[in-house]
Amino acid sequence: MHLLTLAEMSHGLEVGQFSSLELTQHFLDRIARLDPQLNSFVTVTPERALEQAKAADASRAQGKSSPLTGIPLAQKDIFCTQGVRTSCGSRMLDNFIAPYDAHIVQRCDAAGMVMLGKTNMDEFAMGSSNETSYYGAVHNPWDCSRVPGGSSGGSAAAVAARLAPAATGTDTGGSIRQPAALCGLTGLKPTYGRVSRWGMIAFASSLDQA
């Protein structure tokens, strides 16, 4: 299932080829098996993911679904997530549990997407190689001796290794574009202000884009 595109996953869920629960468990199994070599995730949230997957399946059964309902994704660890640690790759925030969800997390949840976990990143998004994280460097899945780029290197590595079909990122000076290029992916940097930065730990608010 991890070889499917997002459109193919959406279609498979729509026609009942597989459930969101099955799809989510498939990616959780891949993370458990492969991520120790890549270090692309800081936090994996299997319980939350499986609960969201069950809810997505229930919504679809009731005819209440969007094209993204039941699709797993990874959230960059710069976005606040209620009840789940948000570290921004720093020891300073190692025990920070946000009491609310960032706007982008709220939008993903509202669409019925399933959060697999939080991805590694350069500390406070200040880096371009993903070697400055308190949780260790992220490795490029195409060659583990290479960097994945930064600061959204964990997100890029996770998608390139097919540990997640999609992931969020942020871009102040190339932090979506560069990791996407280094990991052989397409990275979308929205127009400044198009996506609310509420709940995103700031680097430079006049430049940050989610």
Per-residue pLDDT reduced to its tens digit, 33-60: 999 999 999 999 999 999 999 999 999 9
Work out whether the CA dihedral 77, 81, 86, 88 comes out positive or negative. Answer: positive
Give the start-end residues of each E strand in 20-100. Answer: 41-44, 72-76
Q: Give percent of the chain above pLDDT 90.
A: 91
For residue 96, pLDDT over 80 is answered with yes
- Name 89's Cβ contacts closer than 8 Å, sequence gap at least 6: 42, 77, 78, 120, 121, 122, 123, 124, 125, 132, 133, 134, 135, 151
Nearest to 203 by CA among 170, 180, 155: 170
Q: Give percent of the chain above pLDDT 70.
A: 98
For residue 205, pLDDT over 80 is answered with no
For residue 208, pLDDT over 80 is answered with no
* Known catalytic membership, residue 87: no
Rounded to 10°, the helix 46-61/20-38 angle is 150
pLDDT digits (tens, 9 = 90+) for 122-147: 999 999 999 999 999 999 999 999 99
Over the chain, what is the mean pLDDT?
A: 96
Q: What is the CATH number of domain 19-182?
A: 3.90.1300.10
- Between 51-55, 74-78, 86-90, 187-191, the lowest mean confidence (pLDDT) is in 187-191
| Cα radius of gyration (the chain) | 16
The catalytic residue among 87, 151, 152, 155 is 151
* Known catalytic membership, residue 76: yes
Domain range annotation of the chain? 19-182
Average the pLDDT over 181-203 and give the result: 91
Beta pairing, strands 41-44 & 114-119: antiparallel
What residues pair up with 43 in beta bridges, in sequence order?
A: 118
pLDDT tier at 207, thresholds 50, 70, 90: low
For residue 66, whether the previous peptide bond is cis, meaning omega lies within 30 degrees of 0, is no
* Known catalytic membership, residue 151: yes
Q: Can you give the pTM of this predicted structure?
A: 0.95
The catalytic residue among 20, 76, 87, 128 is 76
pLDDT at 190: 87
pLDDT at 136: 98
- Tell me phi and psi for residue 75, to 5 degrees: -105, 130
